[in-house]
Amino acid sequence: MAFVKGSHHVTLSVGHAQEDVDFHVKTLGMRFIKRTVLFDGSTPIYHLYYGNANGDPSSVVTTFPWAQAGLVGESGTNQAREVLLSVPEGSLDFWHQRLTEHKVVVENVEVLDRRRLAFRHPSGIEYVFVSNDNDPREGHPGYGVPAEYAIHGIHGVGIHVTTPERMVDFAQNTFYSQGKIREDGDRAVFQVGDESFGNHIELIGNRKDDQGTWRYGAGTYHHFAWNLDNLRNQDEIKFEIEGAGYTDISELKDRKYFKSVYVRTPGGALFELAVTHADGGWDCDESPQELGTKFQLPPQFEHRRTELLGQLEEIDI
């Protein structure tokens, strides 16, 4: 029987590589786990990966820094927009102080009668800290972030939509939503998949903003990836989605660390159906202790390694 396990990673289009590293590693304390390049296209752009202590699939934030290519996106509706990250219960005061000290503007917000912290990436992407009790994923204590306050991983994704009911129908009838939908004003919240953490979808009704861009461009959320666990299950889910009439879906793509299929949802957000296969994983080209220390390249770019290192922005980690 086909299933969605939970989240796998999120991928964002950001501005400069160094400010992205500084934000995720030196401000948020995340672990830098991979430095490679975008697999698609002929012009290499960095692909940077950040995670928790163990690089759990449901903890990973990845980014494409587009400043060097001059590509800028537009935030809007019918687009994934909010990066929801899970932090330990009781840590929000620490994070409010730390973000403020790092010159990040942070706001207290309330959703479902619970406090959250809202702030932005240097490129403008919306981030939200959601406190969770009993999240078993191990945070990474980096750059002054103690283990007891460190980020567990992904909490979920906030998607702005003009017609939330179409996205709810997709989730309930095709994409394995679970439990009751909770509502808070213009926000509908539910979970997808078997996990008890990391898999929240929050739909925000938004008929005021213009359509957001879906192409690559700094300042926008590119896709949210789900963990399909194994390749057979991935195939079954793909066929189910196509059979339900959602045919804007890709063929299988080998991303070295995982294999993926992409589907454009009726709410506009791009979902990736990912599987960390037997020959993949973050440690397929680096040991677990060495993650992020070497510049990794897809095979089609390996012969240009020296050239690319001279073209890409130098990063201080």
Kindly state the average pLDDT of the residues 152-176: 97
| pLDDT at position 74 | 97
- pLDDT of 42 > 80? The answer is no
- pLDDT of 213 > 90? The answer is yes
Distance CA 299, CA 131 (A): 40
Contacts for 72 with CB less than 8 Å, ≥ 6 apart: 66, 217, 218, 219
| pLDDT at position 276 | 95
| pLDDT at position 309 | 83
Q: How many CA atoms lie within 13 A of 129 on its CB side?
A: 26
* Residue in the structure block whose two tokens are 């759990």: 56
| pLDDT at position 233 | 98
- pLDDT of 12 > 80? The answer is yes
Contact by Cβ (8 Å): 26, 143: yes
Contact by Cβ (8 Å): 234, 30: no
Kindly state the average pLDDT of the residues 26-46: 92
| pLDDT at position 299 | 84
Distance CA 90, CA 81 (A): 26
- pLDDT of 55 > 80? The answer is yes
Please list the residues that pair with 270 across neighbouring strands. 264
Kindly state the average pLDDT of the residues 196-218: 97
- pLDDT of 308 > 90? The answer is no
Region at 36 (left for phi over 0; alpha for psi -120 to 50; beta for the rest): beta
| pLDDT at position 195 | 95
- pLDDT of 313 > 90? The answer is no
Q: Which residue type sits at 216?
A: Y
Can you state the percent helix, strand and coil of the chain, rounding each to 5?
A: 20, 35, 40
Q: How many CA atoms lie within 13 A of 39 on its CB side?
A: 10
Residue 105: burial class (beta carbons within 10 Å; 0-12, 13-18, 19+): exposed
What value does the mean pLDDT of the chain take?
A: 96
- pLDDT of 85 > 90? The answer is yes
Print burial letters for 227-264: b (CB count within 10 Å at least 16), e (below 16): bbbeeebbbebbeebeeeebeeeeeeeebbbbbbbbbb
Kindly state the average pLDDT of the residues 114-121: 98
Kindly state the average pLDDT of the residues 37-59: 92
| pLDDT, tens digit, 9 for 90 and up, residues 256-287 | 999 999 999 999 999 999 999 989 999 999 99
Pairing of strands 253-254, 220-227: unpaired
Kindly state the average pLDDT of the residues 146-168: 97
Distance CA 84, CA 59 (A): 11
| pLDDT at position 200 | 98
Least confident among 87-91, 176-180, 241-245: 176-180
Distance CA 272, CA 10 (A): 9
| pLDDT at position 208 | 97
Distance CA 38, CA 189 (A): 32
| pLDDT at position 43 | 79
- pLDDT of 311 > 90? The answer is no
C-alpha dist (Å) from residue 27 to 24, 103, 144, 218, 278 = 6, 10, 9, 20, 34
- pTM for this one? 0.97
Share of residues in the chain with pLDDT > 90 (%): 90
| pLDDT, tens digit, 9 for 90 and up, residues 167-206 | 999 999 999 999 899 999 999 999 999 999 999 999 999 9
Instruction: Show the CA angle centred on residue 63, arms to residues 271 and 284, nearest 5°.
Output: 85
Contact by Cβ (8 Å): 77, 70: no
